[in-house]
Homo-oligomer: A and B are copies of this chain.
Amino acid sequence: MSAGSPPSQEGLPPNVVRQLTASADELWNHSTEKINAEVVALTYGSLVANLAREALSSGAGVAAINTRLDEMGYNIGLRLADDFASRTHSLFANTPTRRTGDGANSVSLLRRCADFRETAEIISKVAFKMYLGESPAITDFALSSPADGNRPAFSLEFVEPPFSSHVMLPPVLNGRSTSAGETGAGGKSREDALSYLSMIAGVIRGALFALGLEVITSTPRCTLWGDSISEIRVVLVRKIPASAPPSDD
C-alpha cells in the first residue's frame, strides 16, 4: 500500500498472529480493569436514547444521531490510541511484520503496518480483544475495492455486536417507519435507520487517525435492522505523512 511496497493480501505471518493473540489475551485477562458488559449495554442504551430524544424533538432526524455517535466515537478513539500505543509498546517492540521484517521500536505497530491487511488483523485480534474482549471476523478484504473507490478496504463482522444485548429499535429508528418513507429492498430506508455501531466505527476512525491512517468508516449492516450480522466497513483514504504527526494532546 505504501509507495514502493508491492501490494499484499498476506497480512501477518501465522506465528506472529498467534503470538499477538496470546499477548492480547494475557493483557485482557490480567492487566485490564473491566466492567460488566450488561451494565455497559444499558449505559450505552441510555446515551443513544438521550441522543434520539434530543434529535427527534429538535427535528434533526435520525441521521443526526448517527453523526453524533460517530463524533463521540472519534474523540474516544483519539484518546484510546494513546492508551493502545502505551500498552502495546513493549508487546510489539520485537514483533516483526511481514513487510518490514524487523522489530523496530516504533510508536506503534499500526503506525508501521506494512499493509492494510496487517492493520485489519491488529484491529481485530489485538485492539478489539483488548477493549471489548472479542475479535470480530475480517471479511471482504481488498487492496483495491471497486465498491470503495478502488481503495484498500475491509469489513469487521459481528454476530452479536457489542453494547447491543436486549436492544430493540422502535420503527421510527430502524428505518422501517412508513412515515419516514419506505424505500429500497424490504421497505427499509437505511438512511433513516439508527446505526448502533456508529460509535464503534467512530472509535476506529479516531484511533487510526491518531496512529497515522485516515480512513472512512460506515455501518452497512446491523442485526438491529434485521440483518444476520452487523458490519463495520473500513476504507483507507491515505497514510498521514510521518513528517506531520498528529498532536499528542
Contacts and interface: CB of A to CB of B under 8 A. Distances in A.
A40 interface: yes
Nearest to A200: B39
B43 A38 contact: no
A121 B14 CA distance: 49
| Count of identical protomers in the assembly | 2
Contact of A132 (B36, B46, B80, B133): B36
Nearest to A203: B39
Interface string A1-43: 0000000000000000000000000000000111111111011
A34 to B, nearest CB: 4
A136 to B, nearest CB: 14
Interface stretch (A47-55, A102-110, A179-187, A220-228): A47-55
Majority SS at the chain A contact face: helix
A79 B36 contact: no
Interface in A123-143: 130-133
Contact of A35 (B35, B166, B199): B35
Contact of A131 (B32, B39, B130): B39
Contacts of A40: 35, 40, 43
Contacts of A46: 47, 72, 75-76
Interface residues of A, number: 31
A96 interface: no
Given A50-B51, A50-B72, A32 B36 contact: yes
A163 to B, nearest CB: 8
B76 A42 contact: yes
A93 B11 CA distance: 52
Interface string A213-238: 00000000000000000000000000
A44 B42 contact: no
